[in-house]
Amino acid sequence: MSTSTTEHVTLLAPDISCGHCVSTVQEALGKQEGVKLAMANAETKFVDVDFDPTVTTVEQISSTMAQAGYPVKA
């Protein structure tokens, strides 16, 4: 059995404005290795991500979002 750790991060992406943005962000993050769950919210502009910190990092998640067109606001 392999041990698996999960970390959670909440990122603010102000450019998320509708359901299409939500699905674009979730799809982009869903393809990223190490991301277990991504939930974007068009009303709050927050993206909740569960990820495996041994596989990916918050920096890589932010980079994926920027590439998808939704840069994270620091």
Positions that interact with Cu ion (CB under 5 A) = 17-18, 20-21
- Pick between residue 51 and residue 68 the one whose CB is nearest to Cu ion: 68
- Give the CA distances from residue 69 to residues 1, 7, 21, in Å, rounded to whole numbers and listed in that order: 38, 24, 9
Q: How far is the CB of 17 from Cu ion (least distance, A)?
A: 4
Q: How far is the CB of 12 from Cu ion (least distance, A)?
A: 16
Closest CA to 13 of 51, 42, 38, 55: 42
Q: How far is the CB of 21 from Cu ion (least distance, A)?
A: 3
